Chain A
Amino acid sequence: MLIRIIAAAALYAAAMAVYFTVEEMPLYGKIAMFAAVYLVIGYDVLLRAARNIAHGQVFDENFLMSLPTLGAFVSGELPETVAVMLFYQVGELFQSYAVGRSRASISSLMEIRPDKAVVLRGNGEETVSPEDVEIGETIVVKVGERIPLDGVVAEGESYLDTSALTGESAPRACRAGDAVLSGSINAGSVLKIRTEKAFYDSTVNKILELVENVAGKKAKAENFITRFAKYYTPAVVGVALILFLLPSLITGEWAEWGGRALNFLVVSCPCALVISVPLSFFGGIGGASKSGVLIKGGAYMEKLAEAGVFVFDKTGTLTKGKFAVKGIYPEERADEILAAAAVCEKESTHPVARSIMEKCPVSAAEGWAVTELSGMGVVAEKAGERIVCGNEKLFRKECIKHEQLTNENTIVYVARNGEYLGRIEIGDEIKEESKAVVAALKAGGLKTVMLTGDNERAARIAAEKIGVDEYRANLLPADKVAAVEELIEREKKVVAFVGDGINDAPVLMRADVGISMGAIGSDSAIEASDVVLMKDDLRGIPLAKRIAKKTMRIVRENIVFALAVKGVILVLSALGITGLWLAVFADVGVAVLAVLNAMRTLKGAKREGLQP
């Protein structure tokens, strides 16, 4: 095509040279000369126009380009006609180049598709396409290669770069028995992995599908613009016809009004309008995925940009979802208390016990006889010594004097030989970023609500610490759905729900926008949510909101810009002020500018900062 354009441009230059130098050229000579150049540059447009009309497709770009140029040719504007066709083709080429480029750069953002898998079969290694590996086969992943399928490490120990999946740049250690996700890069040493999923169900394919959003819902803006285009073209063509017939009948200046009407036809091409919107969404989704935010489609991009209420699940979302020692009191006896507790809790699998052991730096003393009293705590005995470690109930039973208090934490009392040593408070830790993120969302004019199954008191303390506007306590999973429904009803705003996707799938689905965090690898969470944050980090929420808003701004800019330019040029054409040139610009020029603007969505948004 490029060669054809260059050739045609050269021919055109030659023709123009002849046109201006040879003065006594007969008219038919000129016509033949320009017609030849016209055909060289525009034959395909003419052919397609003819073929589509034969198929009953009248209002397509080719026809809308052919008729005006042929019209101009007949009215004797020979050089202009050819130039306009040339300009049109250059514009088309540029447009398809720009679309191709943006496609390529978006797919390179998501360049996590593995193209091969090395599988152990028989006595050797075989390199096959990842689709052809069966579940349960063993694959070999060398250093620097991408893991092609989800599986479990069978042999080897290594580090994985999971940045493509989670946005997290710190490498993750893995060894035999660990589950690994496709899409991670092996950064340490050779791994043998037993596959657990077929390529189709593997994480990497799920992510690609999600980002390409093939089956996803189209955004309102996109539906609007395609529907608009459907009526726009026939309407403009209709107006063109009226513009041609009415004034011509009155004034008799057929050629003049015919020319103006032909301009209309060129402007009536809907492409620039239609291309910019899906491209912007596609770019926005691609850019977001680069930052670890997967958005399932334009429709959710739109909703996210509009979201006015953010509802958070507490455990695992605002908090870390695992127990940790929050404090040991009295603090000056902390080491003694911890050492005594460690004796009791050493072998226990209870989460509270595990959190105490995590905190205990030295290994506990040996030789103690440990009795676990279900629902109360643990008693350890050795050579007449006796350590009691447990809750209020146990201490009342043992008749050991202790402090009386209740707060949001679980309290473990510790006593040695009947003497009360102190208490260990264990709680679910609030994530470091929770408070700042909630504050930033509130500063951005958004409402924040926390839902939890905890009791009222614990919920209130956590809500105050995190700073949410509202909280609901004592909720069962089904109550959370009702709470979200009530918020949708009451606030009359788009409500987003943020959860970890593990047991809140119904809430994720019920909310206008369901956002799950750090749920990569969980099919049901990905299935249920509209937006997936690959990293378990709340800062992804304002980031996602920022990206959505930026994308929507660009979508609107493009719609307004394309409509405005087309409108202005239609008016100017009707008044006879502009000619075919500007009309062609209104078609392809606008398309190219809109594509370039849409490309800005690819950059995503500023990564840092919490402003929503």
Chain B
Amino acid sequence: MKKIVKVENLDCANCAAKLERALNRIGGVSVNINFMAQKMALECEDGRYAALAEEIRAVAARVEPECVFKGL
């Protein structure tokens, strides 16, 4: 499934790139963050979304604790 999520409070474009790299290291999900649009496109298998959303939040809390996902 594909989903577009709003990402707020990303400090800078480099932080966005860092977060994108970290999230793409999670297996089974492909993530593309657009810093300017403050949005993240993610693609994963249908059934795994809930578990992956949890993991995305956990990784983000470590890499970029300030960012907030809306609609994840």
Interface string of A42-54 (1 = CB under 8 A from B): 0000000001100
- Write out the residue numbers on chain A whose beta carbons fall within 8 Å of the beta carbon of B63: 55, 57
Give the number of A-B contacts (CB < 8 Å): 70
In the complex, the chain B residue whose C-beta lies closest to that of A54 is B62
Within 8 A of B (CB), among A239-284: 270-271, 273-275, 277-279, 281-282
Q: Closest Cβ of chain B: how far from A265's Cβ, in Å? A: 15
**Cα-based distance from A275 to B12 in the complex (angstroms):** 7
Contact indicator A212/B62 (Cβ below 8 Å): no
B49 interfacial by beta-carbon distance below 8 Å: no
Quick one: which of B17-48 are within 8 Å of A by CB?
17-18, 21, 32, 34-41
CB distance from A222 to the nearest CB of B (A): 9
Q: Kindly list chain B residues whose C-beta atoms are within 8 Å of the C-beta of A281.
A: 36
Give the residue name and chain of the B residue nearest to A227 (CB).
B17
Q: Give A297's nearest chain B residue, CB to CB.
A: B34
Is the beta-carbon distance between A271 and B37 smaller than 8 angstroms? Answer: no
Residues A274 and B37 in contact, CB atoms below 8 Å apart: no
Closest to A591 in B: B12
Q: Are A214 and B12 in contact (CB under 8 A)?
A: no
| Distance, CA A356 to CA B35, complexed state (A) | 56
Interface check B4, CB cutoff 8 A? yes
Q: A265 CA to B37 CA in the complex, in Å?
A: 30
* B13 A213 Cβ-Cβ under 8 A: no
Could you tell me the distance between the alpha carbons of A61 and B4 in the complex, rounded to whole angstroms?
Answer: 28
Q: How far is the CA of A501 from the CA of B34 in the complex (A)?
A: 28
- A226 to B62, Cβ gap below 8 A? no
Residues on B with beta carbons closer than 8 Å to the beta carbon of A102: 36
**Interchain CB contact under 8 A, A215 and B14:** no
Q: Mark A40-75, 1 if CB is under 8 A from B, else 0.
A: 000000000001100111001100000000000000
Contacts of A106 in B (CB 8 A): 36
Identify which of residues 390-438 in chain A touch chain B, using a CB-to-CB cut-off of 8 Å. Answer: none
Interface pair B14/A229, CB less than 8 Å apart: yes
A51 contact set on B, CB distance < 8 A = 65
Counting CB contacts under 8 A, is A550 at the interface? no
Residue in B11, B14, B17, B36 whose CB lies within 8 Å of A282: B36
> Is the beta-carbon distance between B14 and A279 smaller than 8 angstroms?
no
Q: How far is the CB of B21 from chain A (nearest CB, A)?
A: 8
Interface string of A197-237 (1 = CB under 8 A from B): 00000000000010011111010000000100110000000
Q: How far is the CA of A440 from the CA of B11 in the complex (A)?
A: 44
Which chain B residues border A270 with CB–CB below 8 Å? 14
> A214-B32, A214-B39, A215-B4 given as contacts; is B13 within 8 A of A279 (CB)?
yes
Across the two chains, which residue of chain B brings its CB closest to A212?
Answer: B37
Task: Determine how close the nearest CB of chain A comes to the CB of B30; give it in whole angstroms.
Answer: 10
Contact check, B65 vs A55: say whether CB atoms are below 8 A apart. yes
Among B11, B17, B32, B36, the one with the most A-chain Cβ atoms within 10 Å of its Cβ is B36
Is A218 in contact with B62, judged by CB distance below 8 angstroms?
A: no
Say whether B14 contacts A271, CB under 8 Å: yes
A103 within 8 A of B: yes
Contact residues in A for B15 (Cβ distance below 8 Å): 60
Cα distance A226–B34 in the bound complex, in angstroms:
13
Complex Cα gap A52–B67 (Å): 13
Q: Which B residues lie within 8 Å of A212 (CB)? A: 34, 37, 39
Enumerate chain A residues within 8 angstroms of B39, measured Cβ to Cβ. 212, 214
B32/A215 in contact, CB under 8 A: yes
Contact B12 A274 (CB under 8 A): yes
Q: For A55, what are the chain B residues with a Cβ–Cβ distance below 8 Å?
A: 62-63, 65
> Would you call A278 and B35 a contact (CB within 8 A)?
yes
A window 266-311: CB within 8 A of B: 270-271, 273-275, 277-279, 281-282
**A and B contact pairs by CB, cutoff 8 A, 18 listed:** A52-B65, A55-B63, A61-B12, A212-B34, A212-B39, A213-B34, A214-B39, A218-B32, A226-B14, A271-B12, A274-B12, A274-B13, A274-B17, A275-B12, A275-B13, A279-B13, A282-B34, A282-B36
Give the 5 A-B residue pairs with the shortest CB-CB distance, closest first. Answer: A282-B36, A215-B41, A226-B17, A274-B14, A274-B13
By a beta-carbon cutoff of 8 Å, the part of chain A in contact with chain B is 51-52, 55-57, 60-61, 95-96, 102-103, 106, 209, 212-216, 218, 226, 229-230, 270-271, 273-275, 277-279, 281-282
